[in-house]
């Protein structure tokens, strides 16, 4: 997957996470922007009031740093590495391994592309 700006303008929703349950009625939604392999964007939903991320993409690998404000008023940050997969219907899927800052536990989440 070396398409230029592959993730630009794409939206994804979280469908599973080992960090905790995902609210299927209000999953966290991620909006990606990409230019020349530089990635940035934002997310909200489920337990997150507002989140931001920035990073890079090389082929099917995305590396990000993120920070967000939780509905509890707490802040969380960390790093993630995602693998981009193509579904049979042409939509993309992100399989992400992530760690929260100050915690050595690696979590895994799966996000599916939302097509308007």
Condensed to tens digits (0 to 9), the pLDDT of residues 3-26 reads 889 999 999 999 999 998 899 999
| Phi, psi for residue 31 in degrees, rounded to 5 | -115, 120
* Contacts (Cβ under 8 Å, ≥6 apart) of 94: 12, 62, 82, 83, 84, 85, 110, 111
pLDDT attached to residue 109: 96
How many CB atoms are located within 10 Å of the residue 35 CB?
10
Position 2 pLDDT exceeds 80: no
pLDDT attached to residue 16: 95
Say how far apart CA 97 and CA 83 lie, in whole Å.
Answer: 9
Say how far apart CA 107 and CA 60 lie, in whole Å.
Answer: 19
pLDDT attached to residue 7: 97
pTM: 0.93
């Amino acid at each position: 997957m070396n398409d230029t700006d592959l993730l630009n303008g794409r939206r994804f929703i979280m469908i599973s996470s080992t960090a905790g349950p995902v609210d299927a009625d209000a999953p966290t939604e991620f909006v990606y922007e990409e230019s020349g392999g530089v990635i940035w964007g934002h997310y909200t939903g489920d337990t997150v009031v507002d989140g931001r991320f920035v990073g890079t993409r090389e082929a099917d690998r995305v590396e990000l740093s993120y920070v967000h404000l939780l509905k509890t008023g707490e802040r969380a940050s960390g790093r993630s590495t995602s693998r981009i997969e193509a579904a049979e219907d042409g939509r993309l899927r992100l399989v992400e391994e992530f760690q929260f800052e100050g915690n050595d536990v690696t979590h895994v989440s799966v996000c599916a592309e939302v097509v308007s």
